[in-house]
Amino acid sequence: MNSFNLINDIIQNNNKFVITTHVNPDGDAIGSELALARYLEKLGKEVRIINHSPTPQFLLFLLGNNEEIELFDSSKHAELISSSDVIFSLDLNQLSRAGSMEEELRTSKAKKVCIDHHEFPEEFADVMLIDTNKSSTGEIIYNFLINSNFQIDYDVALPLYVAIITDTGSFRFDRTTPDVHRLTAQLLETGIDPKFVYREVYEQGTANRIQLLGIALSSLTIADEGKISYMVISKSDLTKTETDEEDVEGFVNYNLTIKGVEVGIFFFEMDDVVKVSFRSVKKVPVNELAKRFNGGGHFHAAGARIHGLELKSAIEKVLNEANKFVKEYK
Ligand code: 5GP
Ligand code: MN
């Protein structure tokens, strides 16, 4: 039986579902969760979406109500997670990326289904539906829903549309295939207004965020004869501009707007970890580079969290490794 049919069987034969995703969820993570949850609800199932991190501001317009996605609280949710029939982990293929929920997910007796499009999966689920050729987890969910003969309506189409536009960088990243455009057209047929969605997702930020971007851009440094570009944001930059974690979303991409740059890196000092975002054009597999620091991701877009190093040492260590990659993958 193929994975779609296995998942259909699991859905048919069970009633209590929990859906979760990775820490610092993006549009694909939240969009995929909402689309699947709304589908399951239409089938009359009990569904809870529970995440380690709060939903970022730019995605709140997708929520039907404040309870649609819950913030994980062990005292409130431990029992629910251990007694649910099925756990879906979406856009999440390594349980360590579930943050504080990792243990509850690992030890739950529920059937586990992982739907994702990243490389290097951990084999933790009963069904691992992983397709690294797909633009987004949202695209896989779309295909699953079509395969299940579900008539996709606006409520399900909207979060899927957001999943796809965010994970393809508005149809410019790898795996933006003709299929992606065709399925997006189908989603638009339900009445989605692209201008409205674009404004909600990308143009409702704060002035403080733009000030933080200014600091990031001023920190831009070119290394390795123009092949590496990197930027840095420290904790004090956030304090100074009264911004928070989610405000740095997308900053890393500015590195790649420079002619000749092949690897773009963004260093972000957080409370007890330095988050590093990697992007590349051409030949450097940044997921392999991220893996050196226990991270992962895609060939051209990856990330890692570095524990136990000061910002300055983390930068040195990563640049040193990135330099080797640039030399090796010419
Ligand atoms: P971003 O730099 O936008 O946070 O992440 C880019 C890509 O790398 C995403 O596909 C994301 O899933 C992956 N990624 C980011 N941070 C981590 C991490 O700490 N561990 C792993 N395994 N993947 C990450
Ligand atoms: Mn994704």
pLDDT range class, residue 1, cuts 50, 70, 90: confident
Nearest to 276 by CA among 260, 258, 291, 257: 291
Cβ-contact 51, 25 below 8 angstroms: yes
92 pocket-lining for ligand 1 (C-beta < 6 Å): no
pLDDT digits (tens, 9 = 90+) for 76-130: 999 999 999 999 999 999 999 999 999 999 999 999 999 999 999 999 999 999 9
Alpha helices in the chain (DSSP H): 3-12, 27-42, 74-83, 102-107, 137-147, 154-167, 178-188, 194-202, 207-218, 235-241, 286-291, 311-328
Q: How many helices (H) and strands (E) does the chain have?
A: 12, 12
Residue 310 identity (one-letter amino acid): E
**pLDDT tens-digit map of 276-295:** 999 999 999 999 999 999 99
What is the Å distance from ligand 1's center to 24 Cα? 10
CA-277 nearest atom, ligand 1: 2
Summarize the confidence of residues 178-205 as an average pLDDT. 98
Token reading at 276: 């590093």
Tens-place pLDDT, residues 126-154: 999 999 999 999 999 999 999 999 999 99
Give the Å distances, CA to CA, from 286 to 96, 162, 299, 302, 305: 20, 25, 6, 6, 14
Tell me how far apart the 2 most distant CA atoms of the chain are, in Å: 59
95 CB near ligand 1 (under 6 Å): no
Nearest CA to ligand 1 atom 12: 297
Distance, in Å, from the CA atom of 181 to the CA atom of 168, rounded to the nearest integer, reads: 11
**Residues 264 and 280: beta-carbon distance below 8 Å:** yes
Ligand nearest to the CA of 141: 2
- Residue indicated by tokens 């295909």: 143
Which residues on neighbouring strands pair with residue 87, listed in sequence order?
Answer: 18, 112
Residue 65 has pLDDT above 90, yes or no: yes
Please give the pLDDT value at position 203.
95
